[in-house]
Structure 1
Amino acid sequence: MKTILPFLLLFFCGFTYSQTTISGSVTDDNNQPIPGANIIVVGTSTGTVTDFDGNFTLTFGQNPPFSVRSSSVGFETITMQVTANNQKLNFILKEGTSLDEVVISASRTPERIFESPVTVERLGLKEIKNTASADFYDGLENLKGVDVNVNSLTFKSVNTRGFATFANNRFMQLVDGMDNSSPALNFPLGNLVGMTETDVLSIELLPGASSALYGANAFNGILFMRSKNPFQHQGISASIKRGITSQKASGDNPYTDVSFRAAHKFSNKFAAKVNFGYLKGTDWAANSEVDKTNIGGTRANTDYDGVNVYGDEVSTNLKAVKESPAFLAQLPNSALANLVPNVVVSRTGYDEGDLTDYNAESVKADWGLYYRPFEDDFEISYVGKVGSGSTIYQGTNRYNIDGFFQQQHKFEIKNDNFFLRGYVVTDKAGDSYDMVFTGININRAWKDDNTWFGEYAGAYISETLNGATDAEAHAAARVAADTGMLSPESDGFKAAFNRSIADPDLSTGSKFQDESKYYHADGNYNFSQLIDFAEIQVGGSYRKYNLNSFGTIYTDKDGPIEYSEFGVYTQIQKDLELNDMLKLKLTGSVRYDKSEFFDGFFSPRISAGLTVNENHNIRASVQTGFRNPTTQDLFIGLNAGRAILVGSAPNNLDRYVHVDGAFTQTGRVAYENSYTATSVQELAATGNPAVLEIANPDLIKPEQVSSAEVGYRGKFNGIIVDFSAYYNKYKDFISQAVVISPYYGTVGDGAASVAAIANGDYQAYSTYTNSPADVNSYGASLGLSTKVFGDFDLGGSYTFSKLDFDQNKYPDFTTNFNTPEHKFKATFGNTELFKNFGFNVAYRFSDDYFWEATFANGVVPEFHVVDAQVNLTVPSMKSIFKAGATNLTGKEYFSAYGTGHIGSMYYISWTINNL
């Protein structure tokens, strides 16, 4: 012991003296402090960030000399040498441009946007803090080429380069590498269960196909959200935002958005963080009474089907009720039944506002444990995320998503050269329900369909015999059939409503059930430290789905459905110096993906970037991508009212069984015994059976795209230019086609099947298939930014998007392009108008466009939106105060047909210590 003790003392003394403490400040070239600047010991992961006054203190377990690097988004990076303990370092960072910002997503390796081989859009801490939007996620609306379709106050759908729906499964959203998509819905619900604003480090967005590196789901774009690591970003930060939303349909309502972050580095080996976010408001009410099926139609139409009126989807031709007991009971003479007109009549529905409270709410939390066993960049971490919320979702119908719950758990090992992660994503539908079927089944609760239509027909004949005109007879018939209809204020209505939303059987209820999940693993290794001649990466991923909707969405009534897919990829990147002025970066990558239902696909990408004088970069890329059919494309089995949705996985065709009185069908008839919907409509108009056209759509297979892109980034006398143009050619484009299957006969027989159609003995199905024609799209974007009047930031962008598809040749096929042809955006602001005071104004213009989706089709008018904010920084309180307004002009608009009109929001916020 006496021998060991001196050695232990010597060891601890050596440990004590191997600590170097440095301090200092980081300012810009105007001597203004830069809060949140990164201070990193070069070659390690040891670092810190500056406080609100731009000051820092850093302790490193090594004797000098060593180097320290300071960086901040929007500024050039500086490295300084540390030669002594307690040395003071004063960094002065020169303001850079957006082209100097570093991104990771384009090549899975850090590189300047300026040299990125493909188009990249980015939001950093500076842009997030100064956004004129209500929160960072809404700030994506101001990025070049980006569309944000507003489904709800808490659910926005991000899209690029066309083909947008709220069920946007062509676009991927990753949060720290984890897919944010719901297992049941197969797409992300905006930021409902995403990130809290105080923990966001950066956002990167790749428009267009990204399958070569990120797989089948990154088909039309990918959004990357990165959070702050507790080793670099410590302390407690919080934000509270209060205000009101203002809309004609719902009035003025309070709005609250709160977020909290706590992070601590316990040592150079261990750090942890926790985040919490809460949002509550009143959703944008949807109250359109436009008739879906009749242009210019009103509630006076016999077959009225209002966009935001539910229950009126149930309709029938009055000729079909001639044998109804309720009808015959009203006739003194059965011969009078022949007076029933050949006209379609729909039941009277309820307004959407009668079927929802428009509560918009989000509660989310996440936590992370981070361990660096060697005190360097090798890190082991566990991250957990949970989120619950209420929102409105518009898909095939309108859904009240109430208490939806999603959780994610990730385990990851990584350093600067590799990562290996695995995670699981699960969800529960909570008390969610289909508002369309709620209206339908409240109606049926007080009077079944046969009785209602029978009473209607009987009253119509009675009024006609008494001398009423056709219009008068129909009006009186509706009043008679609606006698006893439940008032939304009545106890009977409330009881029927509660029964419906608690019942998952769509023939009697509307509850949306789900407890699905998926397991995912992926990894990547960069050989740059082992190989000098080029940067080579290899990686792969595996995913297993477990669908469990209890038969309410999928055909999984007998138990969960499981299937899997995997992919592997490689990328080679080489920098070539052609001469002192010219540098060439070549990138080639290829990925192979395989789903257990389909043949495998290769997705190659080749790109080249030529840098001239460090001020100009010209890029070009060619790539292919593909998209596997989604879980809904394969296994859905859902009666949506007007049509039954049936997925086309080979083992799904007989899973769905439809029963209508004496007739029973399986989903197979949709694909093997059906007519096109337009030809059935033409038969009704002409009475000529020869117009019927056999549909029998093919079973679905993966969709492919070939994409070519050229671009330019550069500087011209203080003006930053970013231009890109693309052409996409799709093959086997996935969409839905509505078909009509007769209850008897074989399509094309010219007899029995025609009689079935003529007698109304048929069922409409919405099938999942591929377009027989090529679908093409093309477009371009131009972004400009500069400084004006000294320190004022001015930026703008224009985006052009065009679909190339012969709709007249394929009238039953919808592409859901849903994108304006022209978009223009502009921002103007100053982060330091005077000391600690800044402002920002953002303007957006969208051309009108035609929205098509399973819920409703219609024109989205052009809109102009102005958002603005002013902010005050108070360093002594480590706080930023902001006052802002969205849609400042108050002119309401909507970005998708069938949603509520978007009003204005006015708010003030207080953010503390968010560095």
Structure 2
Amino acid sequence: MKILPLLAALVLAFSGALSAQTILNGSILDGATGDPLIGASVLVKGTTTGTVTDVDGSWTLTVSGLPTILQFSYIGFAPTEVEVVDLEQDLDIRLGDNAVTTDVVEVRGRRIGEKQQQAALTVETLDAIAIKETAAANFYDGLGSLKDVDLTAASLGFKIVNTRGFNSTNPVRSLQIIDGIDNQSPGLNFSLGNFLGASELDVNRVNLVVGASSAFYGPNAFNGVIAIETKDPFLQQGLSAQIKVAERNLVEGGVRWADALQNKEGQDWMAYKLNLFGFRADDWVADNYDPVFDTTLGRDNPGGYDAVNIYGDEQSSTFDYSGIRSRPGLGEITRQGYRELDLVDYDSKNLKAGVAFHFRLNPEKTLESTELLVSSNYSTGTTVFQGDNRFSLRDIQFYQHRLELRNRDKFFLRAYMTHEDAGNSYDPYFTAIRLQDLSKDDVAWASDYASYWQGTVVRKISQLEGWPACFPQNCSLSEQDQQRQTFLAQPDIQDLLDGYHMDAREVARQAGRGAGNSAAYEVGTQRFEQAFDSITSTLASEGGTRFFDRSALYHLHGERKFASIWTPNADSRLEATVGANGRFYTPNSQGTLLLDTMGRNIDTWEVGAYGGGTFHLNNRYKFSASLRADKNQNFDLLFSPAASFVYTPTERTTLRASFSSAIRNPTLNDQYLFYNVGRAILLGNLDGIEGLVTVESVREFANTQDASRLEYFDVDPIRPEKVRTLETGFRTTLFEKLYLDATYYYSFYTDFIGYQIGVDLDFANNLITGGQAYRVSANAQDRVTTQGFSIGSNYYFGNYFSLNGNYSWNKLNTATEDPIIPAFNTPENKYNIGLAGRDIPVLENYLDGFGFNVTYKWVQGFIFEGSPQFTGFVDSYGMLDAQVNFTLDKLNTTIKLGASNLLDNQVYQVYGGPRIGRLAYISATYNWQKR
């Protein structure tokens, strides 16, 4: 990639950082508890020279000389200034708390902060240091080692994070935000993982709020929130660059540059940052050729079977000749189909670029100044996404723009918009079917196959030695059929049948060669390429398989915080937060995904407002309550209450109990989807569906011809789903070395959104003449409940080492006759265990710290429920990740060598997806901080 020589040149250009005259060091602590503050800022007044504190609250700063004035600040604490006149001066600074931040976590690596201990909900965090130490190939994969987290890889370029069940490759029950901005796809309504996300160089930390969180985050925060916080260009200036190479021809590079401009008084008034990230690799290949889970035909069926990652080979009643006596041995047949490997672009690419400008409206107030933020992000690339089908996303593009006015810990007014363009993306599953139809339809193919069998193969079979000579005048038809089945089941006869079926399949594929387009399209031929290009470049609504999506969303959000509206005594206070937001969707799929054709307007708006307060009593008790109201134009006004109690009996122990709730408005897909996936048409359900027949009763009718066995049903219009969660837990530190965090939850879902499958039948003379299967978005009639328990621990020893582990148990309790398909898709048991070392004194004259991390993950097998093609069992698996890292201080460069899935244990994380193998990598990260 062209970015590589550029990165190398930048590293060399800045490898000789300026030496300084005076080195100062100290620490920043919480004035009330003495707890060290990570990420607190130290700034030389009137300059851009500054730094942030390390994991133990310590800091080191080079200044041009003494005396100098240092400014110390941290979000939620009153800033302070200190004049430094002597190198021996005590610079252990204690910040006083005059406000309460909404950040619920400060992870310190070796110590756990008070605010994390007192958080009412379960929160997991990956901070800048943890990102450096993760053994995974990138920070986003590193989230998979956190407690309560499920990481699903549908491809190298598309990873999905989910918590507490109902996992999906299109996670509509979790919210992902970057600096407060929702990064969901406007048309499909689910988060895009890190495809549209932040560059690793610009990530400050990632907080995962686990569980129902609608009260402050909105309707989509149903099972959890992934909140990514990027670096502030006022506080973290300079040049960062990274290059990474790995197996599968992976090459990845990124650059971040941040700087500030000063006014005539020498005060920073504007800061900006530029980010560029590029990635390419040979993607994991989906090559599962096992029979689709729970289908009747296996590998031993001579007429073929339906393989998971071969498309167009599905079973059909059109192909079932097992009951026809005149064609012995023909049985049930399937078309040959096309492998995904032959239909998908596995050249995975991702390019992300971003720019942000921060303006201080009152520069003299530094961090307390109101700021105006303007930012823009762009992402494009090619990858494989798995939803109801596997999709080849080619040249897909996203644009995101933000305008925000804010004052830290006081208020913000934020407006942003997201636009997407599906580019040349298409559905490979349906492409296979289109290729087959272009050759010949199913009826013609089956006719060619059966005609060859009856005209050629039956004669060969009847001449085989031992073919049953029993005729109806000597025995019954049932006896004759039994004798034939016994004869055909012999191993040597089965081998002959395999050959006969291969001949028949080839005849059916090639019959009519030279007579138009009746012959099959062979992979690798020019004829195939021309047909493939034509199909994938034609919109699905016009007979092809390319989908069109130029949807957009527009969002406005405002919030005001009141740090102390009542202070009955020095150790007690009441704080409050109020806010409101509105969102407007403008879907545009031209009928390829949604029902937005023939002038139908499906633009959709939703609004919400919320408020809440927290009362801190005597530094031991914390009571919180909040309420949110949401209204979608198509649904009723709904409320999401929440309340919590936190008790801190000692400095090291916290007990907590909470009630939280969330609502989830049906997505645009749930309301307006109309998409043919081959076996069925997927339907949104805003208005309700009538007159469907259950699949089971259709089968019974086919066997009995008894119309009374047909079971008809209607599906009510889709409604928002709601969840209420009770949660309790404790956090404690034992012996100053062992940190424990345990949680138990029980969730109640009402109007749970899943889907039902039914058939719309055509009849003539009491016979089925046709039918269309539908999968309809629907609400469960019964209440769905889940429960779970998790525990995490961190044990620190030997000054440099830590032993980390966590265990999670999640259970879907509901077992009823409700026809809804819940798609829990979550292992009941999973755990992670790891050993890490940081800043180990090895070769101290050359290296500024040596570290390592080894992590083992185990996941219990579970049923993954997706589309009919992609529903099946995911086997239990274990994966070992490992890395070592060291810093070349004189070059400001950190080298990291590691591998995810080090033992190359080929595993499926999602049914229908690829096997995930080893990904060994080496990276170099250059970081020059501007002084």
Q: State the TM-score, normalized to the length of structure 1.
A: 0.84
Alignment pair present for 1:608 and 2:613: no
| In 2, Cα distance between equivalents of 1:92 and 1:278 | 41
Aligned to 1:183, the other structure's residue is in SS state: coil
Deviation at 1:54, TM superposition (A): 5.7
Residues 579-607 of structure 1 deviation map (CA, whole Å, 9 limit, x = unaligned): xxx71000000000011111111100010
Alignment of 1:789-828 (within 5 A): 789-806=798-815, 809-810=817-818, 812-828=819-835
Partner of 1:730: 749
| In 1, Cα distance between equivalents of 2:919 and 2:928 | 23
Determine what percentage of the aligned residue pairs are the same residue: 32
Could you tell which deviates more after superposition, 671-680 or 638-647?
Answer: 671-680
Partner of 1:206: 209
Partner of 2:456: 463
Could you tell which deviates more after superposition, 424-433 or 38-47?
Answer: 38-47
Q: Quick one: which amino acid aligns to residue 634 of structure 1?
A: Q
| In 2, Cα distance between equivalents of 1:77 and 1:381 | 22
Conserved 8 A contact 1:49-1:233: yes
Work out which of the residue numbers 340, 365, 370 in structure 1 matches 2:353.
365
Deviation at 1:56, TM superposition (A): 2.4
Inter-CA distance 830–316: structure 2 relative to 1 (3 Å threshold)? same
Could you tell which deviates more after superposition, 503-512 or 285-294?
Answer: 503-512
Partner of 1:326: none
Aligned to 1:648, the other structure's residue is in SS state: coil
Inter-CA distance 102–789: structure 2 relative to 1 (3 Å threshold)? farther
| In 1, Cα distance between equivalents of 2:838 and 2:382 | 35
Deviation at 1:452, TM superposition (A): 1.7
Conserved 8 A contact 2:837-2:851: yes
Could you tell which deviates more after superposition, 277-286 or 442-451?
Answer: 442-451
| In 2, Cα distance between equivalents of 1:858 and 1:139 | 26
Aligned to 1:360, the other structure's residue is in SS state: strand
| In 2, Cα distance between equivalents of 1:346 and 1:564 | 46
Aligned to 2:548, the other structure's residue is in SS state: coil
Partner of 1:501: 536
Partner of 2:583: 543
| In 2, Cα distance between equivalents of 1:42 and 1:568 | 41
Conserved 8 A contact 1:193-1:389: no
Conserved 8 A contact 1:103-1:112: no
Alignment pair present for 1:390 and 2:382: yes
Aligned to 1:510, the other structure's residue is in SS state: coil
Partner of 2:50: 48
Partner of 1:285: 285
Partner of 1:858: 872
Inter-CA distance 431–492: structure 2 relative to 1 (3 Å threshold)? same
Partner of 2:659: 622
Aligned to 1:346, the other structure's residue is in SS state: coil
Partner of 1:843: 856
Conserved 8 A contact 2:319-2:334: no
Residues 213-238 of structure 1 deviation map (CA, whole Å, 9 limit, x = unaligned): 11111111110001001000101111
Q: Quick one: which amino acid aligns to residue 768 of structure 1?
A: S
- List alignment gaps of at least 5 residues for structure 2: 1-20, 30-35, 95-99, 107-112, 263-267, 463-487, 489-493, 511-518, 568-572
Aligned to 1:551, the other structure's residue is in SS state: coil
Conserved 8 A contact 2:186-2:418: yes
Alignment pair present for 1:309 and 2:323: no
Size of the aligned set, in residue pairs, is 822
Deviation at 1:379, TM superposition (A): 0.6
Deviation at 1:475, TM superposition (A): 4.6
Residues 35-79 of structure 1 deviation map (CA, whole Å, 9 limit, x = unaligned): 99643469999983169996425799xx9998743779xxx9999
Deviation at 1:315, TM superposition (A): 3.8
Aligned to 1:842, the other structure's residue is in SS state: strand
Partner of 1:148: 151
Alignment of 1:57-96 (within 5 A): 68-69=71-72, 82-83=82-83, 91=91
Inter-CA distance 168–89: structure 2 relative to 1 (3 Å threshold)? farther
Partner of 1:25: 25
Conserved 8 A contact 1:890-1:903: yes
Work out which of the residue numbers 115, 131, 135 in structure 1 matches 2:134.
131
Alignment pair present for 1:263 and 2:284: no
Work out which of the residue numbers 750, 762, 767 in structure 2 matches 1:755.
767
Residues 174-219 of structure 1 deviation map (CA, whole Å, 9 limit, x = unaligned): 0111101011221122101201011001100011100111111111
Inter-CA distance 51–591: structure 2 relative to 1 (3 Å threshold)? closer
Residues 829-882 of structure 1 deviation map (CA, whole Å, 9 limit, x = unaligned): 111222421111111111111111114111111111111111111111111111
Inter-CA distance 24–435: structure 2 relative to 1 (3 Å threshold)? same
| In 2, Cα distance between equivalents of 1:42 and 1:623 | 44
Partner of 1:173: 176
Q: Quick one: which amino acid aligns to residue 418 of structure 1?
A: F
Partner of 1:254: 249
Partner of 1:705: 723
Residues 658-677 of structure 1 deviation map (CA, whole Å, 9 limit, x = unaligned): xxxxxxxxxx7xx2111112
Inter-CA distance 195–59: structure 2 relative to 1 (3 Å threshold)? farther
Partner of 1:913: 927
Deviation at 1:283, TM superposition (A): 0.9
- List alignment gaps of at least 5 residues for structure 1: 1-20, 95-100, 245-252, 323-335, 651-667, 746-751
Conserved 8 A contact 2:69-2:84: no
Aligned to 2:870, the other structure's residue is in SS state: coil
Partner of 1:333: none
| In 1, Cα distance between equivalents of 2:675 and 2:281 | 31
Q: Quick one: which amino acid aligns to residue 678 of structure 1?
A: E
Partner of 2:338: 350
Inter-CA distance 45–461: structure 2 relative to 1 (3 Å threshold)? farther
Conserved 8 A contact 2:345-2:392: no
Could you tell which deviates more after superposition, 522-531 or 464-473?
Answer: 464-473
Alignment of 1:495-644 (within 5 A): 495-505=530-540, 508-528=543-563, 532=567, 533-559=573-599, 561-577=602-618, 583-644=620-681
Partner of 1:328: none
Conserved 8 A contact 1:321-1:450: no
| In 1, Cα distance between equivalents of 2:655 and 2:430 | 54
Conserved 8 A contact 2:68-2:85: no
Partner of 1:646: 683
Alignment pair present for 1:118 and 2:121: yes
| In 2, Cα distance between equivalents of 1:585 and 1:65 | 40
| In 2, Cα distance between equivalents of 1:524 and 1:707 | 25
Deviation at 1:448, TM superposition (A): 3.5
| In 2, Cα distance between equivalents of 1:426 and 1:340 | 58
| In 2, Cα distance between equivalents of 1:79 and 1:527 | 18
Work out which of the residue numbers 397, 407, 413 in structure 2 matches 1:405.
397
| In 2, Cα distance between equivalents of 1:886 and 1:261 | 25
| In 1, Cα distance between equivalents of 2:377 and 2:195 | 12
| In 2, Cα distance between equivalents of 1:623 and 1:80 | 37
Q: Quick one: which amino acid aligns to residue 278 of structure 2?
A: Y
Alignment of 1:435-446 (within 5 A): 435-446=428-439
| In 1, Cα distance between equivalents of 2:405 and 2:175 | 23
| In 2, Cα distance between equivalents of 1:78 and 1:913 | 29
Aligned to 1:497, the other structure's residue is in SS state: helix
Q: Quick one: which amino acid aligns to residue 415 of structure 1?
A: N
Conserved 8 A contact 1:313-1:347: yes
Q: Quick one: which amino acid aligns to residue 830 of structure 1?
A: G
Inter-CA distance 605–46: structure 2 relative to 1 (3 Å threshold)? farther
Conserved 8 A contact 1:123-1:203: yes
Work out which of the residue numbers 762, 785, 801 in structure 2 matches 1:776.
785
